[in-house]
């Protein structure tokens, strides 16, 4: 396997103040730490903090050599002024003033306007990849209008690659079959804890030559700590007891092999040949360093064998 850090990407929803406020200096330090560690893939979206993540990421990258990093953003949610938002915070999980609101728009015009606004916030002349963001309830417009608009921009050389990013694999599989995507970003559906994308989706992407980026590999925090607490989240909600129990059993196996749940979750995501990159979020320098350190040495094959023997890992899963 190639150096996994070269395939590691920084996701920026935490830099958009997801759940908790992060200062400008803290956000800059996260990007700087990622860069210093060798990370060259950066993913963002207008949705993250109503544009805050894009502005912070752009500011941190503006003096970096543009040809040395890959930057992706997303379309599908236009940000429009919201006079009624004065004096309150965003109600979609981000600790930012609600001076803007999101409007779903997967029209061709909406895609172009969204990308233009993203470039303005980023302060950069181009992005490398554009994903349709969570088009779950907008299939017809997304595949009929947004994807052709992105394909035209790709043909014109405005963007390098196009795709879709979602928390489910079924509709992503439809995009792979029915549109001309280069890349897909799947969040939370191919992790050490659960692999619903294994049987059909990942082989399909491999067959079609579509790059897969795995995000949400810690299942919204559940796999990020060796000692799994009772009040941990899973899919951004309180984790069910059976899920917590399964994570603790996996953690115990990791401990027996001298490693951690976090390290196993990261290495696992890189194990499938269809997965070309892994996106992780961080809100502090220490988190970036911990993730990179976890990838400094491969894990023992005996770990994966015991997880299979204990029924904690599908026998069909390819591992690093």
Residues tagged active-site = 48
Question: Nearest-5° angle of CA 244, CA 245, CA 247?
Answer: 65
d(CA 51, CA 166): 19
- The torsion angles phi and psi of 206, rounded to 5 degrees, stand at -60, -40
70-75 and 211-215 strand pairing: unpaired
Contact 49, 21 (CB under 8 A): no
d(CA 111, CA 46): 12
Q: Which two tokens stand for residue 191?
A: 């992790």
Q: Which two tokens stand for residue 73?
A: 């953003």
Q: Which residue from 277, 217, 209, 273 is spatially nearest to 41, judged by alpha carbons?
A: 277
What DSSP assignment string belongs to 145-194? IIHHHHHHHHHTTS-SEEEEEES-SHHHHHHHHHS--SEEEEESSSSSS-
Q: Kindly provide the residue ranges of all beta strands, DSSP E only, lying in the chain, ordered along the sequence.
A: 8-11, 41-43, 70-75, 77-81, 100-104, 129-133, 161-166, 183-187, 211-215, 233-234, 237-238, 275-281
- The torsion angles phi and psi of 317, rounded to 5 degrees, stand at -70, 125
Q: Which two tokens stand for residue 104?
A: 């779903």
d(CA 121, CA 115): 10
């Amino acid at each position: 396997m190639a150096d996994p850090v070269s395939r590691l990407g920084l996701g920026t929803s935490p830099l958009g103040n997801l759940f908790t406020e992060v200062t400008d200096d803290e956000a800059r330090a996260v990007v700087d730490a990622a860069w210093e560690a060798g990370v060259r893939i950066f993913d963002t979206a207008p949705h993250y903090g109503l544009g805050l993540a894009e502005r912070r990421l752009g500011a941190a990258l503006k003096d970096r050599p543009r040809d040395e990093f890959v930057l992706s953003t997303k379309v599908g949610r236009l940000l429009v002024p919201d006079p009624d938002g004065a004096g309150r915070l965003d109600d979609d999980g981000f600790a930012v003033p609600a001076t803007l609101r999101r409007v779903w728009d997967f029209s061709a015009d909406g895609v172009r306007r969204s990308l233009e606004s993203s470039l303005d916030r980023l302060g950069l002349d181009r992005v490398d990849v554009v994903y349709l963001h969570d088009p779950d309830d907008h299939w017809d417009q997304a595949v009929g209008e947004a994807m052709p608009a992105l394909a035209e921009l790709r043909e014109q050389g405005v963007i390098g690659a196009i795709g879709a990013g979602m928390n489910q694999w079924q509709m992503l599989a439809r995009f792979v079959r029915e549109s001309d995507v280069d890349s897909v970003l799947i969040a939370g559906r191919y992790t050490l804890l659960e692999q619903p994308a294994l049987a059909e989706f990942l082989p399909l992407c491999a067959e079609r030559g579509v790059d897969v980026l795995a995000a949400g590999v810690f299942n919204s925090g559940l796999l990020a700590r060796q000692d799994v607490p009772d009040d941990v989240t899973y899919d951004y909600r309180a984790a069910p007891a059976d899920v917590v129990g399964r994570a603790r059993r996996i953690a115990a196996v990791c401990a027996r092999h001298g490693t951690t749940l976090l390290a196993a979750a990261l290495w696992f995501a890189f194990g499938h040949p269809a997965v070309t990159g892994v996106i992780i979020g961080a809100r502090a320098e220490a988190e970036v360093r911990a993730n990179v350190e976890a990838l400094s040495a491969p894990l023992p094959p005996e770990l994966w064998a015991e997880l299979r023997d204990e029924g904690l890992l599908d026998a069909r899963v390819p591992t690093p």
